[in-house]
Amino acid sequence: MTQRHDQLSSTTVSTPATPTTLQQIENTLPSAFDQTDIKNTLTQTALKPEQLTHIPNYATIPSSTKRIKPLNNFLGQDRAKASVEAGIALPYSGYNIFAVGTAGLGKKTMIKRLLQQHAKTMSTPDDWVYVNNFKHARQPIALRFPASQGAKFQALLHQTWKTIVKQLERRFSAETYHNRIENIRQITGNEQQLALGELTKEGEKLDLKLINHNDEHIFVPIHVVDNQVLELSQDDLNALDSKQRAEISANIRYMDKKLDRLGLQLGDLEDDARDQVSELNRDIAKQVVIPRIELIRNKFEAIEGLEQYLKLYAADIIDNVETILDQEGDEFSPALFNHVPSRYQANVVVSHKLNSGAPVIFDDFPTHYNLLGHVEQLTQNGTITTDFTLIRPGALHQANGGFLILEAEHLLEQPYAWQGLKRALKSGQLKLSSLEHMLTLTGSISIEPAPIPLDIKVVLLAEPEVYYEILELEPELGSVFKIRADFTDTLQRNDDNEQAYMQLIADYVQQDKLLPFDRSALAALLTDSSRQAEDQSSLSLHALTLGDLIRESHHHAAQMEQKLVTSHHINTALKHRQYRLGYLRELYWQDLSRGTQLIETKGHRLGQINALSVIQYADVEFGLPSRLTASVYQGGGDILDIERSVELGGSLHAKGVLLMSSFLKAHFGREQILHFSAALAFEQSYGQVDGDSATVAELSALISAISQIPIDQSWAITGSMNQLGQVQPIGGVNAKIEGFFDACKLQGFTGKQGVIIPRQNMQHLMLRQDVIESVETGQFHIHAIDTIDQALEILMARPVGTLDKKGRYSKNSIYAAVMAQLEYWQALEDGIEIEEKPKKKKKKKAKDAKKKAVKDEVDSNETDTALTHKNT
């Protein structure tokens, strides 16, 4: 509907025209380019083609990457570099580093390179070896050796064992050894026979004979018959009188007691013999073992705890020499894949090459085990066992004395990994603990290895969202990671930085052995970098994106059998990438081309405007026009945000609606209450809407609905605003402009279509070449505004109006129409009776005046239906 906008008296108001008249007017309204009274606004806001991008200075670009020296420094990350160096230099507890920056900046590569440079100048850390604790087997001993000495000690210890075993086998198989053993046995046997002989003689005196019955010595009664000594049979015993039998029984008991005492004596003789053999074996073992152990001790002097360990090592071999030679006992069984018993092995958990500097380790899977180490277990005869040879080091062991790099997000994904890392850093030692025992998942036997001192710098890598999440949930983060290294996304674009950026490009070319890039290719890469940064005065530092584009461009040039990579290959790579990632965008544009998504790029509509939005999904981003509508009706002054009401609108979007409401009250509600209500909606929007970049579009649609002045659908607009009507910058300006440009291209260019953006966003313009060419030919237009007034004048093709001395806006202006409608609603609220004037015949002069008035109204795209009303 259109509305007459004459200034109203206290007794007259205007009423809307009929829908038929409105449709006719909307189809005949001119564009802003046809109106002379807003020419100044168009001139002041129009942007030239050269303002839509950063044009490279080819004079400063080398002819090829062949002429560019490699970059030997970090580009644009001076602050982050200083932070990392501070963390390295401060030798105090807690000065670990948290590197924060968006993905793709090359944080890991840059930090790793920086750490490696420092690590080369640092001393090589010591080796660590776990050995058996012969006193407490469940508490293995940790020995510290100079770099590269741990493996040598292990090899020497194992070789010593083999040598000892061979020498023992030779000594114990020698004839002299067996002769000495036989001599001990003979002496013992003779003493035993002598004792038995004396006891036998004593028994014979009592008519008792010592015999061996069932492996036992017993005395039996005897008698002499025909000079022959015979054992008494049972019949013989029965033939004796009771006195004789009692005497024989008493003699047997007497001799049995003496036999028992003799048995003890014989046992003592055997024990003495065994002791003599054992002592002989120990003497021989000492002669073999002690010299070999002395060689180890002499070779590894000043190793804390080694001398005591070697003493216990030698004593254990000497004490168990018989068992060792007999290969008896489970605890002396050979270790897996090794014939050295596990108790005599050495387990090297950390080993370094001599003069190799400090280690720099990156662990991409930091589980509790991988980070802190663990103890493996074996199943033997159905029983789970373990020992110190099954201790496995973690990343902290390997990086001890140097640097460890971890992805914070990966660390947090692993149960108990963060807690374990924090505990190790705060305690300053590496203590192996079984995760199963911590969770009480098993009762199997375990060991408690001696802790190892921890001297390390840990670097965590994270995106800002992850860092702030950890900071919020982990109050102790600041005490463990005292250094934060912030990586920036962009670099200021000047001559020096452009040269450094091209050196970075040359780095990629040389490292990957790619074709040289010519001047046009370098210029195209600089342009794309600024486009990625969305800033004419900046270059993107996303190394991953740059590296991928360089390699893909080389690939296309190589396929074409070219010797140089040119801008054509850069553009080809970009088009291929856009096609690969364009499936989602294509679905949206299919809806637009089929008319499913309702967008108009020509004509005029009341309360309807083309807002601009950006679709972001993973690594895909593209702009789309969105139809935004506003409806108004008499009410209590509230503005309904439909998106917010159905929980599709975010808090920032709601803030924009409140700012718009504040603007309306400040401009039109100073002398009257705004007796209207309104509703705003993004049509065909079914996802989350947030941000305040549509505030200018929403206010424009609302003013159109109030004033009954249609909006030219040839325009799309984006921008935030404040309560004073000043337009503020928004994000994604390039994608938004290109989205509406593509929509206009799809529906057909008229030469009067364009986009209105905040003036502050001019510096962010890095538009596609086809958009720039269309602006240059006048086919498409881009205007940068400072205030909402400029936007309204372009959208509605008439001035917003100025206030006169009476506080009235100029005739036929946008704000005059707004005030007229507000006064009409005020009259309705006040209960004024509205009546039409009866039609009367007028004089020719009056008719001529009326014709002129009608002509003026047609020129201003309005209908004039004046109604007169009396005061109630």
State the Cα–Cα distance between residues 631 and 269, nearest whole angstrom. Answer: 119
Parallel/antiparallel/unpaired status of strands 483-486 and 97-100 = parallel
**Pairing between β-strand 403-407 and β-strand 360-363 as defined by DSSP bridges:** parallel
Q: What is the largest CA-CA distance in the chain?
A: 190
Rg of the chain on CA atoms, in Å: 50
> From CA 599, how far away is CA 605, in angstroms rounded?
12
Q: What is the pTM of this model?
A: 0.79
Q: Cα(693)–Cα(347) distance, rounded to whole angstroms? A: 64
Looking at residue 690, its pLDDT comes to 52
* Neighbouring residues of 505: CB distance < 8 A, sequence distance ≥ 6: 65, 68, 517, 522, 525, 546, 550
Distance (Å) of CA 81 to CA 99, 107, 496, 704? 10, 10, 19, 54
Instruction: Supply the pLDDT for residue 596.
Output: 82
Rounded Cα distance, 119 and 88, in Å: 10
| pLDDT score, position 337 | 37
Q: Which helix (H) or strand (E) holds 323?
A: helix 321-326
Q: Check if 693 is active-site.
A: yes
| Cα–Cα distance, 62 to 466 (Å, whole number) | 41
Structure tokens at 516: 């040289």
* Full DSSP string of 792-847: HHHHHTS----B-TTS-BPTT-HHHHHHHHHHHHHHHHHT----PPPP----HHHH
Active-site residue 311, yes or no?
Answer: no
* DSSP 8-state code for residue 689: B
Question: For residue 18, what pLDDT is reported?
Answer: 39
- 8 A C-beta contact, residue 727 and residue 759: yes
Give residue 150's pLDDT: 97
10-residue mean pLDDT profile of the chain (872 residues): values are 35 42 55 87 96 96 93 88 96 96 92 95 97 96 97 96 93 91 87 83 81 79 74 77 84 84 83 88 94 95 95 96 70 50 96 96 96 88 86 97 97 94 95 72 73 97 95 91 96 95 94 96 97 95 93 97 97 95 89 86 94 86 92 75 54 64 76 78 66 85 93 96 92 96 95 96 97 97 97 95 86 91 82 56 48 44 33 28
Which residue in the block uniquely carries the two structure tokens 């006891």? 199
**Considering 107, 112, 457, 736, which one is annotated as catalytic?**
736
Q: Where are the domains of the chain?
A: 1-49+599-829+836-872, 77-125+355-487, 143-351, 491-580
Q: How far apart are CA 223 and CA 231, in angstroms?
A: 6
Give one DSSP letter per residue of 19-50, joined into a string: HHHHHHHHTTPPPGGG-GGGHHHHHHHBPPGG
Active site residue: 64, 433, 693, 700, which one?
693
Helices (H), 616-768: 642-645, 651-668, 695-707, 733-747
Residue with tokens 């030919």: 777
Beta bridge partners of 711: 605
Q: What is the rounded CA–CA span in Å between residue 528 and residue 493?
A: 13
Nearest to 1 by CA among 25, 15, 22: 22
State how far the Cα of 820 lies from the Cα of 190, in Å rounded to an integer: 140
Q: Characterize the bridge pairing of strands 753-758 and 715-717.
A: parallel
| DSSP SS3 for 627 | strand
pLDDT of residue 642: 54
Q: May I ask the CATH architecture of the domain 1-49+599-829+836-872?
A: 2-Layer Sandwich (3.30)
How many angstroms separate the first and last alpha carbons of the chain?
Answer: 27
Could you tell me where the DSSP H helices lie in 381-476?
Answer: 395-399, 408-413, 417-427, 435-438, 464-473
- In whole angstroms, give the CA distance from residue 185 to residue 273: 7
CATH second-level architecture of 491-580? Answer: Orthogonal Bundle (1.10)
Phi then psi for residue 629, to 5 deg, are -125, 155
- Report the SS3 class of residue 510: helix
Which residue carries 């894949």 as its tokens?
A: 337
- 77-125+355-487 architecture in CATH? 3-Layer(aba) Sandwich (3.40)
| Cβ-contact 83, 484 below 8 angstroms | yes
Q: What is the pLDDT of residue 306?
A: 97
Residue type, 869: H
Q: Which residue has the tokens 């590296």?
A: 547
